[in-house]
Amino acid sequence: MKVERQVLHHCLDQAKNFITLGERDKSRDYCDMGIGYCAAKKEGGMSGEDEVEGVRINLWLERFWMFLENKNLML
């Protein structure tokens, strides 16, 4: 079964796209949206080991945080 790319894939792709365009604020916003989406899933009862879009929630969080740190987007 192929996993459908949805919200989190879109957020990460857009963050990468905007950083290449020099739009640092928009890139940060998309990372924040991805982190917020993961947080909402966890507050809704999912654990960090549950999968969203075929990837563990904890891995999604790590991807977004590492992107923010590596691109110096942390506030």
Output the CA angle 15-19-16, nearest 5 degrees. Answer: 40
Rounded Cα distance, 68 and 21, in Å? 16
Q: Would you say residue 67 has pLDDT above 70?
A: yes
Q: Would you say residue 2 has pLDDT above 70?
A: no
- The pTM (predicted TM-score) of the whole model is 0.91
What percentage of the chain exceeds 90 in pLDDT? Answer: 92
Cα-based distances in Å from 63 to 1, 11: 24, 11
The pLDDT tens digits for 7-34 are 999 999 999 999 999 999 999 999 999 9
Q: Are 54 and 7 in contact (CB under 8 A)?
A: no
Beta-carbon contacts of 46 under 8 Å, excluding residues fewer than 6 positions away, are 52, 57
